[in-house]
Amino acid sequence: MVKVLRFPENPLITPADVPPSREDFEVIGSFNAGVIRHGDEILMLMRVAERPVSKDPAVALVPVVECSNEGAGCASGSSTVTTRLSTSATPGSLARRKGCC
């Protein structure tokens, strides 16, 4: 059995340490998945959660991914992927309008 020890100074990286991928997004989570030593390098694999910043608390901005090549899928090397922001009601008000929750 391999003994795994948690580093006492966790977390290594917090959302404040990670710049957002776009200036209109904010980083809301960083998940330190693992660190390895490979040759003379130390590599970290990390997952980051982001969301669009909304100036109006009553409006939720939702990133929408659009592919230019219908049917080929966004993973296809020949398709162009763009992201735009769409507005919607806040999750609570949307749920109330649908009659749930």
Average pLDDT, the chain: 74
- The residue to which tokens 């130390």 are assigned: 42
pTM metric for this prediction:
0.58
Parse the chain into domains and list their residue ranges.
7-53, 54-101
pLDDT at 60: 81
pLDDT at 63: 79
pLDDT at 18: 93
The mean per-residue pLDDT over the stretch 49-61 comes to 86
pLDDT at 100: 38
